[in-house]
Amino acid sequence: MSTKERWYKRFWKFLKDSRAELKKVTWPSRPEVVSTTIVVILSVIFFGFYLFFLDVAFGWGISKFKDLIG
């Protein structure tokens, strides 16, 4: 074969390199994960309600405008 490595050798090298990089990662502690998860869930709920009420308000406003002109 040519000077290029076979695909399975490159794949094996990729797996070994990935594992080595994962050992360098600083993983968050459990309390950090729990607190950030709670922040994300609360933010999603807040913005969901916010966008829902904006949608209702704009829908009401547009329907009133359509009644006014048409």
Q: How far apart are CA 28 and CA 18, in angstroms?
A: 19
Q: How far apart are CA 16 and CA 25, in angstroms?
A: 15
Q: List pLDDT tens digits, range 11-22.
A: 999 999 999 999
Q: List pLDDT tens digits, range 1-51.
A: 456 778 899 999 999 999 999 999 999 999 999 999 999 999 999 999 999
- Number of residues in the chain: 70
Per-residue pLDDT at 61 exceeds 80: yes
pLDDT of 5 reads 79
pLDDT of 29 reads 97
Higher pLDDT, 59 or 3: 59
